[in-house]
């Protein structure tokens, strides 16, 4: 009778719990949240079977533990869990957006437990909390695992299986490549979208809202995300984000130069090439 | 028995025809397209009643003429229509993304007819052609009218009524403010999205597709738009786009500096302010 414990019963933890319930992967799903009322709300919404307040006891009874908390709190939670793990097959994984800082933190203070599998679902929403949870949040999404040299391969295989049961496609890479690539595919786009909304909000000749269509709404949707969470992600992955920032800025400046200098044929070739890249974005990744 | 003639039976012209059919605003809807097979396809799809090939005859019979063609072809089409208008109440309007260049072109060659109302629906899609037409494309969208000193106010009122019948909210402003504001709300976001896809397509440490989530998909959706059309729009509105380019670039650089210098509290205040602006983006515009 395998048991799942979800630490952090918000959007990600709650959605994973729902997906596991749908998949019938666990006989019981407990939920713990630093904010007890969040776990109670998750239980009322049917995301988890039971809100728990005694974390060590819940960990001792769990076969799987998902740590779905802000990136800055992941390492501390792994250490709290480590103090309570008593069964050899208990497997612990996270859902954090940044990997390098967590791995470095663990390696520097107590080591990386063999049963801990760093993982990151490329799914989310600008909404937060248990009432934003969605059974299908991970369906057809990608989940990146970054197992470390210390990580037990059997634990990695179990985590892979649970994410697959949630409907996701699972990939493995290093923490370094993960952080570099999510800076590209997620963190810098968020920074651009926030910056764009800041610019839209500056004084202009007219009211931008009269001129806003669905294109702008989609382009800036990720700027509706929680500011404190994104401050943390950008802070934790600063070096990789700044490297992407510089690379993208140079590319963007070149495109501006084509427009400024009236090199319209080159501009159109550039747009056509970017459009083709956009069309390939949904293709299956290289293995 | 009012008749509508749609010149250019693609996404915009076809969607307007469908919306007018639904509203029962016209007894007959004719369609003309420089590519005759596009008009025939529009008729087969039921967007228009009849594809026409004799443009002067169709104009002479029309009460309303929508010119839904690429921005670079609008002024020429207005002049073609002008040569065929025979009824005093015939009203002609366009759907172009840029206004200043069209108005200047007309004023310089033949003048701006009193029956021509420059208009621009803030709606669209990355898809094109008659089979992308959608009855509800304009519902709850904004349409900007930029009537000129030459424009008959009764013609403006009629065009306002038709767009309202399509479900849109109608605003009036100058061609200059229109072009400045759409550079902000549409043209520069397209340039950024194209540039971002170009950067994603450059060599990186991993395959971006493995790390792409719905955030990146939404952020870059407008980069799936037709490259030739966007080359034209960026060309026609170059000065306004470059002005927005420079303003936004300075804003974005400042945000980068906050991250680079580790000014995380300021960064978070910036993100929170941008997030609040995003939440207000759907509010009704100031009158």
Q: Do A275 and B238 touch (CB under 8 A)?
A: no
Give the separation between CA A66 and CA A44, rounded to whole angstroms.
20
Mean pLDDT of A70-78: 95
**Mean pLDDT for all residues in chain B:** 96
Give the separation between CA A8 and CA A68, rounded to whole angstroms.
5
Give the separation between CA B22 and CA B134, rounded to whole angstroms.
11
What are the residues whose beta carbons fall under 8 Å from the beta carbon of A29, sequence distance 6 or more? A3, A4, A5, A6, A17, A20, A21, A47, A48, A49, A50
Q: Please report the pLDDT score of residue A185 as a whole number.
A: 97
Residue A53: which of A66, A43, A68 has the closest Cα? A43
Which among B206, B253, B284 has the least Cβ separation from residue A173?
Answer: B206
Q: Please report the pLDDT score of residue B149 as a whole number.
A: 97
Q: What's the Cα-to-Cα distance from B69 to each of A60, A110, B14, B34, B124, rounded to whole Å? A: 68, 66, 11, 9, 13
Q: What is the ipTM of this complex?
A: 0.91
Residue B3 CA, distance from chain mean position: 23
Q: Tell me the nearest-neighbour CA distance from A240 into chain B, angstroms.
A: 11
A262: left (phi over 0), alpha (psi -120 to 50) or beta: left
Mean pLDDT of A71-78: 96
Write down the pTM of the prediction: 0.92
Q: What is the pLDDT of residues B223-249, one digit of tens each?
A: 999 999 999 999 999 999 999 999 999
Both tokens assigned to B187: 């043209």
Residue A173: which of A114, A247, A99, A234 has the closest Cα? A99
- Split at pLDDT 50, 70, 90, the class of B9 is very high
Give the separation between CA B213 and CA A121, rounded to whole angstroms.
9
Both tokens assigned to A281: 């974005």
Q: Please report the pLDDT score of residue A125 as a whole number.
A: 77
Q: Tell me the nearest-neighbour CA distance from A1 into chain B, angstroms.
A: 33
Say if A196 is an interface residue toward chain B (CB within 8 Å).
yes
Q: Please report the pLDDT score of residue B108 as a whole number.
A: 96
Q: Do A190 and B215 touch (CB under 8 A)?
A: yes
Residue A17: which of A38, A48, A45, A39 has the closest Cα? A48
Q: Please report the pLDDT score of residue B224 as a whole number.
A: 95
Which among A238, A268, A277 has the least Cβ separation from residue B228?
Answer: A268
Which among B197, B225, B251 has the least Cβ separation from residue A198?
Answer: B251
Residues paired with A142 in a beta bridge: A169
Q: Do A184 and B204 touch (CB under 8 A)?
A: yes
User: All domains of chain A, ordered by start, with CATH?
Assistant: 3-173 (3.40.50.720), 178-280 (1.10.3660.10)
Q: What is the pLDDT of residues B98-154, one digit of tens each?
A: 999 999 999 999 999 999 999 999 987 778 899 999 999 999 999 999 999 999 999
Residues 2-61 of B with CB under 8 A from A: none
Flag whether pLDDT at A215 surpasses 90. yes
Q: What is the pLDDT of residues B171-221, one digit of tens each?
A: 999 999 999 999 999 999 999 999 999 999 999 999 999 999 999 999 999
Q: Do B277 and A141 touch (CB under 8 A)?
A: no
**Mean pLDDT for all residues in chain A:** 96
Q: Do B209 and A283 touch (CB under 8 A)?
A: yes
Chain A residue numbers with beta carbons less than 8 Å from the beta carbon of B171 are 210
What are the DSSP E strand ranges found in B129-182?
Answer: 142-145, 169-172
């Amino acid at each position: 009778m395998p048991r799942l414990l979800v630490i952090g019963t918000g959007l990600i933890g709650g959605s994973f719990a729902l997906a596991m319930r749908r998949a019938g992967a666990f006989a019981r799903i407990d939920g713990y949240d630093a904010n007890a009322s969040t776990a109670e709300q998750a239980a009322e919404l049917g995301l988890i079977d039971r809100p728990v307040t005694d974390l060590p006891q819940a960990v001792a009874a769990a076969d799987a533990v998902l740590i779905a908390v802000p990136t800055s709190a992941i390492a501390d939670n792994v250490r709290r869990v480590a103090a309570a793990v008593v069964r050899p097959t208990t497997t612990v994984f996270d859902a954090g957006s940044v990997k390098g800082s967590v791995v470095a933190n663990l390696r520097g203070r107590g080591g990386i437990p063999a049963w801990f599998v760093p993982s990151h679902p490329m799914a989310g929403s600008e909404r937060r909390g248990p009432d934003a949870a969605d059974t299908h949040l991970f369906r057809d999404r990608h989940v990146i695992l970054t197992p470390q040299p210390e990580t037990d391969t059997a634990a990695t295989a179990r985590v892979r299986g649970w994410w697959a049961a949630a409907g996701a496609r699972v990939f493995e890479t290093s923490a370094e490549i993960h952080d570099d690539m999510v800076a590209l595919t997620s963190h810098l786009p968020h920074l651009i979208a926030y910056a764009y909304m800041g610019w839209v909000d500056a004084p202009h000749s007219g009211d931008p809202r009269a001129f806003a269509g669905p294109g702008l709404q989609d382009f800036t949707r990720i700027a509706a995300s929680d500011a404190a969470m994104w401050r943390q992600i950008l802070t934790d992955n600063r070096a990789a984000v700044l490297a992407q920032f510089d690379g993208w800025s140079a590319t963007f400046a070149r495109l501006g130069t084509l427009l400024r200098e009236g090199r319209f044929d080159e501009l159109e070739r550039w747009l056509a090439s970017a459009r083709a890249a956009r069309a390939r974005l949904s293709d299956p990744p290289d293995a």
